[in-house]
Amino acid sequence: MKKKLQTAFSPRQYMLSGDFEIYYYSDRHSYNVKSHVHDYYEFYFFLEGDVSIHIHGEEHALSAGDMLLIPPGVPHFAKVHSLDVPYRRFVFWISRTYCRALSGISPDYTYLMRLADETEWYLFHYDLLAFKAVQAKVFRLIEEIHSERFGKAVQISVCVNDLILHLNRTVYEEQHTKMPCEEQGLYPNLLRYIEEHIEEDLSLERLSREFYVSKYHIAHIFKANLGLSVHQFILKKRIRMCRDAICSRTGIGEACFMYGFQDYSSFFRAFKKEFGMSPKEYQEFYTKKE
């Protein structure tokens, strides 16, 4: 696939250009790049390989069609598990200065950057057809960079801005075109799932994986319906279930771990904040009334 447009891999993790750089890598070598941060935005498009990406210490297995957007200052690295198939990807670096200039033209250019910065949602997935459209725009840009045609600099600028806007548009539309009936179905299903798995890890990452929607979208649904974050809702749910359990004479420590608290001190603080007294004081007060 467009072999002549490939770039020999370099472990360099800084930009030479003040605006943007783009590379097409395909190799069968594991370069063991260590965890690092950038002072620019990195778009990473995964094409092929047995690879996972580590971001903020969390590992994500990658599949063809995945796109990552890593903001400045976020530690990350890729881990190659096998070299049986080539490791192919596009890497697109964009400086903060260039992003600010685009945002001055229209904030639509930097929707994805703000999303990643504000929500820590870095991984997006394209289906086969949508990803082919992205690839076509990437190759058009790389081909223009390698050309010597009249108007090259202008055309490169047009291609870069077109690619960035296309990425922002596709993610925005995926997150904002849900039909009302779909929204109405997702919200009660989320509530039901949380209640049925209240003793387990219920991070936004897990809910996102289970329901195939972004963390940002789930957070938006809870804020719109309850005025609470997902974390606040789950915490309140757990506290009330613990309260009901200890009022039924379940041991306080047993109730704490039964409903998903990982340690007693965090449970104690949350309970006292919610009800104005410690779990033991609440249990004693309640049983005196019987």
Considering the domain architecture, whether residues 28 and 172 belong to the same structural domain is answered as: yes
Number of folded domains in the chain? 2
Q: Which of 17, 194, 26 is nearest to 9 (CA)?
A: 26
Q: Which of 129, 161, 146, 120 is nearest to 19 (CA)?
A: 161
Task: Provide the 8-state DSSP code for 44.
Answer: E
> What does the pLDDT read at residue 166?
96
Please, what are the averages of pLDDT over each run of 10 residues along the chain (290 residues)?
A: 72 84 87 85 95 88 93 91 91 95 94 86 89 94 93 96 96 68 73 89 89 83 80 88 86 88 88 85 71
Report strand pairing: 20-27 vs 66-70: unpaired
Q: Which of 176, 209, 228 is the last residue of a domain?
A: 176
pLDDT, tens digit, 9 for 90 and up, residues 202-236: 988 899 888 888 888 888 888 777 777 888 889 88
Separation CA 5–CA 112 (nearest Å) = 27
Considering the domain architecture, whether residues 265 and 133 belong to the same structural domain is answered as: no
Burial of 30 (0-12, 13-18, 19+ CB in 10 A): middle
Q: Among positive and negative, which fits the CA dihedral 129, 132, 136, 141?
A: positive
CATH code assigned at 203: 1.10.10.60
> What does the pLDDT read at residue 179?
43
> What does the pLDDT read at residue 288?
65
| The model's pTM | 0.62
CATH code assigned at 16: 2.60.120.280
Q: Which of 121, 152, 176 is the last residue of a domain?
A: 176
Considering the domain architecture, whether residues 254 and 118 belong to the same structural domain is answered as: no
> What does the pLDDT read at residue 152?
95
Instruction: Identify the domain containing residue 158 by its residue range.
Output: 3-176
Q: Which of 120, 151, 176 is the last residue of a domain?
A: 176
Q: Which of 160, 184, 13 is nearest to 101 (CA)?
A: 160
Considering the domain architecture, whether residues 39 and 144 belong to the same structural domain is answered as: yes
> For residue 63, what are the contacts with CB-CB under 8 A and spacing of at least 6?
46, 125
Considering the domain architecture, whether residues 67 and 149 belong to the same structural domain is answered as: yes
Considering the domain architecture, whether residues 184 and 167 belong to the same structural domain is answered as: no
